[in-house]
Amino acid sequence: MAVAARPRKSARRQKLEAAIMYPLDWLEERSGLVGGIRYFLFRKVPGDTNWLHTLGSATLTAFLVQLVTGVILAMYYKPEPKTAYASIQHITNDVTLGWLVRGMHKWGASVFIILMFFHMARVFLFGAYKYPRELNWIVGVMLLAIGMLEGFTGYLLPWDQTSYWATVVGINLNGTAPILGPFLAQFLRGGAEIGPDTLARFYSMHMLLIPGAIIGLIGLHLYLVVRLGVSSPPWSREAAGSEWVEEQVTTNGRSGLTRPVARNSWRRNGGDTA
Amino acid sequence: MEPEHGQRPHTPGPTLYPIGFAAGIACVLVGLIVSPTVIAPIGGAIAVVFAFLWARDATAEYRGVPEPVEPERREAPAAATAPAVPAREGETAVPEPAPGERFPRSKFLEGATLGLGGVIGGVVTVPVLGMALGPAFGKQDKRYHHVDLGPLDNFPEGEWRLATFFLDPNQGEVTRRTAYIRNNGALDGEPSLTIISNRCAHLGCPVQPNGPVFDASTKNVNTGGGEQIKLIKMLPAGGFGCPCHGGQYDPEGNRTAGPPVRSLDRYEYSIVNGHLILGKTYSVAHVDGTGKDAVIHKYRLAGPGQHIDGWEQIFYPLQPPH
Amino acid sequence: MSALDERRAQFQKYKHDVKERGKPFYPYAMFHDTVMSLVVVSVIVGLACVWYFTSGENPDTCGGKDSCLLGPRYSAPADPGTTNFVPRPDWYFYFLFYLLRIFKWPDSVILGTVGIPTVLLIIAFGLPFLDTRRERRLLRRPVAVVAAVLVVLSMGVLTYKGAVAKEALASEVKAAVPSWAKREGFANNREAVAGANAFAVSGCTACHTYLGTGGGNLGAPDLSAEGTKGKGVQGLQTYISDPSKFGNTVMPKFASLGQTTLHQIAVFLDASKGPK
C-alpha cells in the first residue's frame, strides 16, 4: 500500500506529541490496554461496509442509554408495592429532569428492542450467521431473548394497573408450560401470590441479573465481531474474500484499492460467497 | 547442618506459627466484643502460645539450633539409597513417588484445589439458590386463608354481591381481591353460598360481570384487624366475561366460550358466629346444576391456563403448595 | 479439499483481503456508527419529550385536557381486586398477545402460550445449523428471503392486530352510550337510553358489535340496525330473555335481568335503525 509522504513535523509539534504519548505509553507498558484499544479502533474492516452495518452499534448505544438512565432512576425508585408508584410520580413530576430520564428509559427500551430486531434482520439477510459466525448469531439470539425479558421485568416496576396486570398475565403464561410451568410461575412470583416479593424479585432481576448477563454477552458478541471480522454486503462487487477478485486484479496505484477488471467475469466466476 | 556466615543460608521453611498468632489475636478481638470473660482469654492463650513458637522458630539460627531437614532435601538421601527411578519413554509427566512419599504433591494439590473450590462454590451457591427457588415450593401464607367478610345478613338470599377485601390487611393493597358471592339459601339447614374468584381461568385477567353493578348500593363493612370489606349489589345475568381474550362464563362459573381451560376458581367458606369466613381457593373443572343443587367438580388449586382434567392434565402433574 | 477446508480457506482469503484492502474502522466505519448513534439518542430524547409534554400528572386527563399522544405518564395505581381493566403487555409483546387471541379453544391454549414461541426460539437458535449453505447472495437464497418476508409480515400483522384489538370493557362501552343516542336518534327516549346503559354493562358487546364498539365473537350479529329487522319490542324482549327458545343455544339467557330492564333493552334495540 502506497504511503503518502508526510511533511516533517516541527520541533514544537514533536514535543507536544511526545507529551501526549507519555502517559499513554506508561499505561501501555504496564497493561497493554492502549494497544488493545488501538487494535480495536484501527483494525481493518471491508471497504464496502454501509449504513446497514451501523444497526449493531446503534443497538449498543440504545443499551448504554438504558444503563445510564437506569442507574439514575435507581437512585430515586423505591421497590416496594406501597411506595413504588409514588416514587415514580415523584421522579416524573418533581425531580429535576426526572421526566426526561424516565422518558428516555421508557422509550429507550422500545428503541433497543426495535433495533435488535432490525439488526437481526440485517444479519440474516446478509447471511452473516454462516461460517465462521455461527456462535455470534447464537449469542445474538440469546441477547434478543434476554433483552425482551429485561423489558418484561422492567414493566412491573411502576406498579400501576398496566404493570400489575401485564405481569399477572405474563407470569401465568409461563405457568402454562408443561411439568415445570407451575413451579416456574411460583419462582417468578416469589410465592403463590403476586406481592412485595414479586416486585423485589423482578427488581433484582431487572437491575442486576439480566443486565449482568447482557453486558457479558455483549462483550462476547463484540469480541467475536472483532475476531471474525465484519462481512461485506452480499451484493458487493468488491467483497472481501470473494474468489473472482483474486484472479483479475489491478491496483489503481493511489489508494491501494483493487479494481475489478471485467464486470462479466464477476458472474462467470460465481460472484461473492465470502 | 550449620549455616555458614557470609553465605546466604537456606532459610527455614515457612511455618504456620504467624498464622496461629494472627488467629489468636483475632480471637481476642472477637472475644472482646462477644464474650470478654471466656473467648478473649482463650484467644489470648492461643496468641501467646503461637507467639512463643514463632519467636523460637524465628530465632533458631541465632541460637545455634540445628536446622530441620528440608523436605526437598530428602530426595538426595532417598535417591542415594534406593535404586534410581528409570526414565522410560511414555512415562507420565508427574514422576513416580519416591520411596518414603506415598502421595505425590502435585496430585494432592490438584485434588485439593478442585475439591475445596467445589466446596466453596457449594457453600455460596446452595443457600442463594435455596433462597431464590424456595418460594417455588413454599406454602402460601396461612393468614391468607381466613378472611372475615362480615355478617351473613349482608348477603340476602338469591342476590349477588361483588365483595372486595384484603387477603392480609397487614400487607394492604397488594393483597386486595374480588369475589362474586351469591347466597343460594339453605341446604340441609346450612347456608349455601356460591363464591367465585374474579381471576379468569385462562391467564388470570380480572373477569367482569355481564350485568349491572349497582354502585349506589355499595356497603362498607369493617370486620376488625384492618379489614375493610366493600360489598356491591350486582346482577350477572349473562354470567361473567373476561375482557382480555374473550372468555365467557355462565353464572355458575362454567366456561361457555373462549380460551379458558376450566371453570372459574371458587373459595371455600365457613360460617362462624353468623359471619361469613372465606377459606382457601380451589380450582373447579366444571359445575353441574345451579345454586345450592350444584355439583362442583373440585380440584386442588392450579394456576390459570393449567388443565386439571381432560387429556391435557398430564402436562401439569405437580403443583407447588398453595 | 473438503467443504470445511474450502470454507476455512475462503475465510483466510477474506481476512487477507480485508488486511490488504480494508479501511480502518476508525474513522471510516466509526463515523457512520457515531452518526447513527446520534440519531438513536435524538429519537429517544424526542420520544421522551413528546410523551411528557402531551400528558398530564393525572392519567385521567388523557383524551380531554391532554392529548396523551404517546400514552399517559402512568395509569392508576395497581388494584389487584379490580373488575374494570383490560391488561395489555408492552407493544413489543403484542404479537405474542394476539397469538393468544387466535388460539381461542381451551385445548389449544398451550400452543399459543408456550408452544409456538418455544418453537420459534429453537429455530432462531438453530438457524446456523439449519442453513449451512455458503451462499450469501439474496437472489440465490429464495428460502431465506421468503422466510424473512413471511416472518416480518406476520409479526407486523400480529403486532398491529394486537394493538387495535378491542375488548368490551363495561365502563368504556357505557361511556359510548351518549354518542350512540345521538347517532341513532333516541336521545329523547328515556327508556331507550336506560336500555342502552343496561346493554352496555351486560356484556353484550363481548360478542355483538354496535356502532363500531365491541368484538364480533361466536357469530353474533351486529346490532346497530336491529330495529329494522321487524322483531318488535315484545319479540326482542322474549328473545333476549331466553334465546334458546328461538334455537340460539350460544347466547346466554338474560331473564334474571328482570322484565323492566329487558323491556328497556328491547326499546333501545328497536330504536336502533342503523347509523345515520
Split at pLDDT 50, 70, 90, the class of A247 is very low
**Which chains have 3 or more CB–CB distances shorter than 8 Å to chain C?**
A, B
ω into B321 cis (within 30 of 0): no
What part of C 7-36 touches A (C-beta under 8 Å)? 7, 10-11, 13-15, 17-26, 28-30, 32-33, 35-36
What is the rounded distance in angstroms from the CA atom of residue C65 to the CA atom of residue B23?
72
C-alpha closest to that of A95 among A72, A79, A67, A65: A72
Cα-Cα-Cα-Cα torsion A165, A168, A169, A174, nearest 10 degrees, comes to: 160
The residue in chain B having the minimum alpha-carbon distance to the alpha carbon of residue C101 is: B245
Indicate whether B76 pLDDT > 60: no
pLDDT value at residue A267:
40
pLDDT recorded at residue B57 = 85
Cα gap C264→C258, rounded to integer Å: 10
How many residues make up chain A in this entry?
A: 274
Q: Is the pLDDT of residue B264 over 90?
A: yes
With 90 as the cut, is the pLDDT of residue A55 above it?
yes
**Entry pTM:** 0.79
Arithmetic mean of pLDDT over chain B: 83
Q: Does C144 touch chain A (CB under 8 A)?
A: yes
For residue C201, give Cα distances in angstroms to B63, B196, B216, B232, C168.
102, 19, 15, 15, 9
Residue C252 in contact with partner chain B when CB distance is under 8 A: yes
Q: Which range has the worst mean pLDDT, A28-37, A96-105, C62-71, C191-200?
A: C62-71
What is the predicted pLDDT for the residue at B104? 73
What share of chain B has pLDDT > 90, as a percent?
34
| Contact assignment for C203 to B210 by CB distance below 8 Å | yes
Residue type at C173 in one-letter notation = V
Q: What is the pLDDT of residue A96?
A: 93
From CA B7, how far away is CA C52, in angstroms rounded?
Answer: 81
Residues of C in contact with A271 (CB under 8 A): 137
Q: Hey, what's the cell of B310?
A: 381432560
CB B269 within 8 A of CB B193: yes
Q: Please, which residues have CB within 8 angstroms of residue B234's CB and are 6 or more apart in sequence?
A: B160, B161, B162, B180, B209, B211, B212, B213, B214
Give chains near B: 3+ CB pairs under 8 A: A, C
Predicted pLDDT of residue B139 = 63
| Mean pLDDT across B126-135 | 83
A237-251, B60-74, B246-260, C251-265: lowest mean pLDDT where?
Answer: A237-251
What's the whole-number mean pLDDT along residues A68-83? 95
> Which residues make beta-bridge pairs with C137?
none
**CA neighbours closer than 13 Å in the CB half-sphere of residue B83:** 3
Residues of C in contact with A255 (CB under 8 A): none
CB atoms under 10 Å from CB of A37, counted, come to 14
Chain B residues in contact with C107 by the CB 8 A cut-off are 310, 312
Chain segment C28-80, per-residue pLDDT in tens: 889 999 999 999 999 999 999 999 999 988 888 887 888 888 889 999 999 88
pLDDT score at A244: 41
Higher pLDDT, A19 or A8: A19
**pLDDT for residue B70 is more than 90:** no
Q: What pLDDT sits at residue A253?
A: 42
For testing contact with chain B, the best of C94, C101, C107, C109 (most B CBs within 10 A): C109
- Among chain B residues, the shortest Cα distance to A204 is held by B132
A195 to chain B: which residues are within 8 Å by CB? 171, 174-175
| B171 interfacial to chain A (CB closer than 8 Å) | yes
Answer whether B205's CB lies under 8 Å from B242's CB: yes
- B183 strand-pairing partners: B157, B193
The secondary structure of A128-188 as a DSSP string is: TTSTT-HHHHHHHHHHHHHHHHHHHHHHHTT-BHHHHHHHHHHHHHHHTSTTTHHHHHHHH
Least confident of A57-71, A135-149, A204-218, B119-133: B119-133
B295 vs B289: CA distance, rounded Å: 6
pLDDT of residue C118: 92
pLDDT reported for residue C82: 86
Is A79 at the interface with chain B, CB within 8 A? Answer: no
**Mutation target among B208, B229, B248, B307 for the C interface, most CBs of C within 10 A:** B208
∠B194-C264-B213 over CA atoms, to 5°? 35
Q: Is the pLDDT of residue A272 over 60?
A: no
What is residue A274's predicted lDDT score, i.e. its pLDDT? 42
Residue C29 near residue A47 (C-beta atoms within 8 A): no
Q: Which chains, if any, share at least 3 CB pairs under 8 A with chain A?
A: B, C
In this predicted structure, the answer to whether residue A248 has a pLDDT above a threshold of 60 is no
CATH class of A53-231: mainly alpha
Q: What is the pLDDT of residue B102?
A: 67
Alpha-carbon separation of residue C195 from A25, C77, C186 (angstroms)? 85, 33, 11
Cell numbers found for residue A4: 503518502
The full DSSP string for A141-156 is HHHHHHHHHHHHHHHH
Is the Cβ–Cβ distance between B267 and B279 less than 8 Å?
A: yes
Decide: B239 and C232 in contact? Cβ < 8 Å.
no
Q: Could you tell me the CA-to-CA distances from A134 to A49, A125, A153, A227, B140 in Å, in that order?
A: 20, 14, 29, 13, 45
- Best A161, A164, A172, A209 member to test B by mutation, with max B CBs in 10 Å, is A172
Of C7, C20, C37, the CB nearest to A57: C37
Distance (Å, rounded) from C-alpha C244 to C-alpha B250?
Answer: 15
Residue from the list A131, A155, A238 with its beta carbon closest to the beta carbon of C7 = A131
If one compares B228 and A133, the residue with the highest pLDDT of the two is: A133
Chain C hits for B203, Cβ within 8 Å: 100, 113
Contacts of C11 in chain A (CB under 8 A): 131-132, 241
Q: Do B305 and C109 touch (CB under 8 A)?
A: yes
The pLDDT, as a whole number, for residue B3 is 47
What region does A162 belong to: left with phi over 0, alpha with psi -120 to 50, or beta?
A: alpha
Whether B245 and chain A come into contact, CB under 8 Å, resolves to no
Instruction: Write out pLDDT tens, residues B292-319.
Output: 888 999 998 888 989 988 888 888 888 8
Confidence label for A245 from pLDDT (cuts 50, 70 and 90)? very low
Protein fold of B142-305: Rieske Iron-sulfur Protein (2.102.10)
Integer Cα distance of C208 and C210 in angstroms: 7
Q: Does B58 or A106 have the greater pLDDT score?
A: A106
CA angle in degrees (0–180, nearest 5) for C219-C222-C226: 125
**pLDDT category, A104, cuts 50, 70, 90?**
very high
Question: Judged by CB atoms within 8 Å, which residues 17-56 of A form the interface with B?
Answer: none
Domain ranges of chain B: 15-63, 142-305
pLDDT digits (tens, 9 = 90+) for A147-196: 999 999 999 999 999 999 999 999 999 999 998 899 999 899 888 888 88
Q: Tell me how far apart the alpha carbons of residues B25 and B16 are, in angstroms, rounded to a whole number.
A: 15
pLDDT at B229 over 50: yes
Q: What angle do CA C177, C181, C182 make, to 5 degrees?
A: 120
Which residues of chain B have a CB within 8 Å of the CB of A184?
136
Judging contacts by C-beta atoms under 8 Å, the chain A residues touching residue C33 are 54, 57-58
The neighbouring-strand residues paired with B164 are: B178, B230
Residue A252 binned pLDDT confidence (cut-offs 50, 70, 90) = very low
Q: pLDDT tens digits for chain C (276 residues)?
A: 577 888 888 888 888 888 888 888 988 889 999 999 999 999 999 999 999 999 988 888 887 888 888 889 999 999 888 888 888 899 999 998 888 888 888 888 888 888 899 999 999 999 999 988 888 888 888 999 999 999 999 999 999 998 888 777 888 888 888 888 888 888 888 888 888 888 888 888 888 888 888 776 677 888 888 888 888 888 888 988 888 888 888 888 888 888 899 999 999 888 888 776
Residue spans of the domains in chain A: they are 53-231
User: Measuring CA to CA, how many Å separate B52 from each of A168, B57, C19, C130?
Assistant: 67, 9, 68, 72
Residue by residue, DSSP assigns B94-149 as SPPPPTT-SS-HHHHHHHHHHHHHHHHHHHHHHHHHHHHHHHHHPPPPGGGG-EEE
In sequence order, the β-bridge partners of residue B221 are B229
Exposure string for B115-135, b = 16+ CB within 10 A, e = fewer: eeeeeeeeeeeeeeeeeeeeb
CB contact B174 to A (< 8 Å): yes
Residues listed for chain C: 276
Lowest mean pLDDT among A156-165, A264-273, B15-24, B270-279: A264-273
- Asked whether the predicted pLDDT for residue B110 surpasses 80, the reply is yes
pLDDT in tens, B22-50: 999 999 999 998 888 888 999 999 999 99
Give the ipTM of the model, two decimals please: 0.86
C-alpha cell at B3: 549455616
> Whole-angstrom Cα distance, residue C167 to residue C170?
9
